Amino acid sequence: MSKVCDVCGKGRQVGHNVSHANNKTPKVWLPNIQKIRVVKDGSVKRMNVCTRCIRSGVITKAPHSRIRPVLANAEAS
């Protein structure tokens, strides 16, 4: 899965872990990317979106499209 938000473009940030002895080792911080269904231009698409965009309302989540099966016995009752 991509580590970049499809909406805002937020990606990984790099830096160093710094020990008490001032030793520096590479460190990578990744954004919290979620793969969700989004309504975009009137159609539903799957996008990789960071939680900041989801929480701030930049995108609109698509409703669930689960269709519950109708039981034949339930209709007769």
Where are the domains positioned within the chain? 1-60
Structure confidence at residue 69 (pLDDT):
61
CATH fourth-level superfamily of 1-60: Ribosomal protein L28/L24 (2.30.170.40)
Q: How far apart are CA 33 and CA 35, in angstroms?
A: 7
**pLDDT, one tens digit for every residue, the chain (77 residues):** 679 999 999 999 999 999 999 999 999 999 999 999 999 998 999 999 999 999 999 999 998 876 666 666 655 55
pTM score of the predicted model: 0.72
